[in-house]
A and B are shown apart, each in its own frame.
Chain A
Amino acid sequence: MAFHYRALLGACAVAALCAPANAETITIATVNNGDMIRMQGLTDDFTAKTGHDVEWVTLEENVLRQRVTQDIATKGGQFDIMTIGMYETPIWGKQDWLVALDNLPDSYDTNDILPAMRGGLSVDGTLYAAPFYGESSMIMYRTDLMEKAGLEMPDAPTWEFVADAARKMTDKDNEIYGICLRGKAGWGENMAFLTAMSNSFGARWFDMDWKPQFDSPEWKQTIDFYLDLMNEAGPPGASTNGFNENLSLFQQGKCGMWIDATVAASFVTNPDESTVADKVGFALAPDNGLGKRSNWLWAWALAIPAGTQKQEAAMQFIEWATSEEYLDLVAEKEGWANVPPGTRTSLYENPEYAKVPFAKMTLDSINSADPTDPSVQEVPYVGVQFVAIPEFAGIATQTGQEFAAALAGQQTADEALSKAQTLTAEEMEAAGY
C-alpha cells in the first residue's frame, strides 16, 4: 500500500513539474462580437484543461483585418491564432500562410462541421481554419405590420412578394419604412448584400474567362430593383446604413423588414434591447425562382499563422474552442440561445437547441448557400457574397462606392454600373487576369 502512495505522490510531482514546463501563453487576435466576448470569459476552462494561458487582442473588424493581413504578410509573428473569415482563409491557405488543420484527433470529429462551412474554409479538401461561428442572411420582419398590411410571409418568399410587402408596410408619416437594407459602401457592407442579391437574379461577378459582368442585363435588373425598392420603401439616408444602423432602426420599430446576418436574430428578439422583441418573424432570404436565394454565407474562424512558435498550444486552443464540448459549456453557463451558431451538425440535432426560435431558419439559410456554386450561371470563383481572390476587397469597395452614390441619388444606376464595369476590368487586367 505504501508503495502505491509513493508511486502516486511521485506521479503527481512529475505531473506538477511537467505542466508548467509545457505551459505557453498564446496571443489571439479577435473581433468584438458577442460570441467572441463569451469565449474570452470562458478561457479559464481552457487554461484549467491544458495549463496554457491566453492573451486576447480584441480589435474592430476592419482594423483586425488590416492588422492580421499586415502581420501574416510580413511574418511579424505577433499572433499565434487569428480570427479570420471565409474570404481570407482560401487565399491565405493557398499561399501556405496558414497551418493546415489536417491532423485534428478523431474525437474532434471534423466531419461534424457543416459541409458549407467546411467547404468555404478549405483549399483542395484541406481545412485551414476551424469555424467558431457561422452565419447566413435571412429576412427578419415585423409580424404586426405584416398582418396590418393584410399579408402573410411565406417561409421562402420571392423578391416580388418582399417588394410588394415593403411598399404596403411603408408609412413614412409615422417613420415606418417597409424595408431596411445595407447601403454603406464597402466590400463587406453593401457589396456583400448586393452580390448575394445578384446571385438570385442570375448575375455573377465574372464569367469563366474572368471578364467582369456588370454590363450584363442581370446586374442591371438587380441594381434597378434595389434602387427602386429602397427609394420607395427604404429609410432616408440609407446610403450610410450598415449592419449597426439598420439594427438600431429595426429595434426602434422603424423597419417592416430587414434582410441581414442571421446573428441579428438574437439582438432583435432580446427584450432588453429591442422595442419589437415579441413581434419578429423570420423567413429565408428572397429568390426569383431561378434556383438561387439571395442569402450569403460567412464564418468567423480560428486559424494558425504559419510562423508561430507555439503551434501545439494554438492547435489545442482551436480544438477546445470549436469542439462540441465547448458548445455544451456555453449552453451550461449562458443558455442555448447564446451558443455560437452555424458550425456543427450535431448542434442542430440537439432537441434543446431546436427550441431556440431562430435555430431552424439559421440552419436552412446556411444550407441554402453554396460557396463553390454561388450563382445560377457557372463561375470560376469560390464565395457567395465575395470572390475569394486577393484583388476583390479593393475592387468591391470601389464598386460599392459607385452603388452607394447611386442610392444617394448622385448618379443613375446605369452610370454606376458602367463605372463598376470599367474599374473592375482595369483592376483585373492590372492583376494579370
Chain B
Amino acid sequence: MARKVTTRRKTINTVFAWMIGLLIFFPILWTILTSFKTEAQAISDPPVFFFFDWTLENYAVVQERSDYMRFLWNSVILAGGSTVLGLIIAVPAAWSMAFVPSKRTKDILMWMLSTKMLPAVGVLYPIYLLFIKLGLLDTRIGLTIVLMLINLPIIVWMLYTYFKEIPGEILEAARMDGASLKEEILYILTPMAVPGIASTLLLNFILAWNEAFWTLNLTAAKAAPLTAFIASYSSPEGLFYAKLSAASTMAIAPILILGWFSQKQLVRGLTFGAVK
C-alpha cells in the first residue's frame, strides 16, 4: 500500500530538491551571468547579480578572436567518434561477460577498472612519445583513440550491469529459434538494452566532451577541441573573467542543450535496473 504523502511534506521535499538543484547549478549560472557583464562588473565587490547593464561585448570579442566553429567541430568529432568506437568494442565485450562468464570475468572487470585508478599524468610521457613516433600528435584520430581508451572501462562496466538485468532465457530462446550470434546481439539484446546503451552513449559523450587533460596535452592548432578554446582565455596577468566566462558558456552550451533534450533517456538509463 502506498504511503500517504501530505501536501506539506510534498512542499518541503520540492523546496529542498530545488535548493540542492540550484546549489549544483549555481557555478554554471554564475558563469553565464558573468559572461554578460563588463570586466569591471565581473570582479565588483559586492557582486552584482541580475541588475547590471547586460552586454554581448564579450561574445563579440571571443567570436572575433577565436575560430569557435573549428573548436566545436573538433569537440563533436572527438566526443562522438570516441563514444561510437567505444560502443562498438564494448557491446560484444559486455555481452560475453554478462552471458558467457568465465572464471576470470570478475577479475578482468576489476583489472579494466584499475586502469582508471592511475592518474593520467602518470602515463603522459609514454603516450606522448608514442604519439610522436606514430605521427599522431595534434590529430583527431589519435585523440579519438585515446579518449575511447580512457572511457572504455566505464562503457564496459555500464553495459555489463545493464546486460545483467536482461534474462538470459530470452537470448537462449532466440538461439533455439536459430538466431546467429550477430542476430542475437543486434536484434534481441540491443533493442532490449536501448535505454542502457543510450545513457551509456550520452554519459560517455559528456565525459569525452569535458576531458581536459589529454585534449590539452596532445593537441596544438589542428585538433584542439573546446577545452583548449576555454583554456586560451585563462590569463595569469589580467582580469578577463567576463571573456573567460563567455568562452566557457559557448563551450558548454551545446552539451547543456543536448543534456536538456535527452534528460529523460539519461535518467531512465541511469536508474535502469535499480528497482528489483
Contact = CB atoms under 8 A, between A and B. Distances in A.
Interface of A: 27, 29, 31-34, 37, 40-41, 55-63, 67, 70, 74-79, 242-244, 247-248, 251-252, 261, 263-264, 267, 272-275
B123 to A, nearest CB: 13
A183 to B, nearest CB: 16
A237 B129 CA distance: 42
A251 B65 CA distance: 26
B125 interface: yes
Interface stretch (B14-22, B26-34, B199-207, B229-237): B229-237
A261 B235 CA distance: 14
B132 interface: yes
B218 to A, nearest CB: 9
A74 B217 CA distance: 13
Interface stretch (B40-48, B172-180, B248-256): B40-48
B238 interface: yes
A243 B216 contact: no
Contacts of A264: 237
B132 A74 contact: yes
A57 B239 contact: no
In this complex, the member of B38, B220, B228, B240 whose beta carbon has the largest number of chain A beta carbons within 10 angstroms is: B220
B272 interface: no
A27 B235 contact: no
B220 A33 contact: no
B217 A70 contact: yes
B217 A57 contact: no
12 contacts: A31-B235, A58-B233, A60-B235, A67-B217, A70-B128, A242-B236, A243-B237, A244-B236, A251-B43, A272-B38, A272-B40, A273-B239
A361 B240 CA distance: 25
B39 interface: yes
Interface of B: 38-40, 43-45, 65, 124-125, 128-129, 132, 137-138, 216-217, 220-222, 224, 228, 231-240
Given A74-B132, A251-B43, A79 B239 contact: no
Nearest to A188: B236
Contacts of A58: 231-233
Nearest to A274: B40
Nearest to A249: B45
A32 B235 contact: yes
Contacts of B240: 32
Contacts of A56: 221
A261 B237 contact: yes
B239 A267 contact: yes
Nearest to B138: A78
A244 B237 CA distance: 6
A222 B129 CA distance: 44
B48 to A, nearest CB: 13
Nearest to B217: A67
A75 B132 contact: yes
A32 B232 contact: yes
Nearest to A76: B132
B221 A57 contact: yes
B232 A76 contact: no
Given A40-B65, A59-B231, A33 B237 contact: yes
In this complex, the member of B137, B222, B235 whose beta carbon has the largest number of chain A beta carbons within 10 angstroms is: B235
Given A27-B220, A37-B65, A76-B132, A248 B236 contact: no
A84 to B, nearest CB: 14
A248 B220 contact: no
Given A27-B220, A58-B232, A244-B237, A76 B65 contact: no
B128 A60 contact: no
B238 A59 contact: no
B220 A57 contact: yes
B3 to A, nearest CB: 49
B43 A63 contact: no
Contact of A55 (B40, B221, B233): B221
Nearest to B131: A76
A28 to B, nearest CB: 9
A57 B224 contact: yes
Contacts of A32: 232-235, 238, 240
A61 B231 CA distance: 10
Contacts of A37: 65
Nearest to A272: B40
B238 A34 contact: yes
A75 B133 CA distance: 11
B216 A244 contact: no
Contact of A29 (B38, B43, B220): B220
Nearest to A29: B220
Nearest to A37: B65
A53 B228 CA distance: 21
Contact of B238 (A33, A63, A78, A272): A33
Contacts of A75: 132
A60 B231 contact: yes
A273 B236 contact: no
A83 to B, nearest CB: 12
Given A58-B232, A274-B40, 13 more contacts: A27-B221, A32-B235, A33-B237, A37-B65, A58-B231, A58-B233, A61-B236, A70-B217, A74-B125, A76-B137, A244-B239, A252-B43, A275-B40
A131 to B, nearest CB: 16
Contacts of B39: 272-273
B232 A247 contact: no
Contacts of A62: 236
In this complex, the member of A32, A76, A243, A247 whose beta carbon has the largest number of chain B beta carbons within 10 angstroms is: A32
Contact of A63 (B129, B137, B216): B216
Contact of B235 (A29, A33, A76): A33
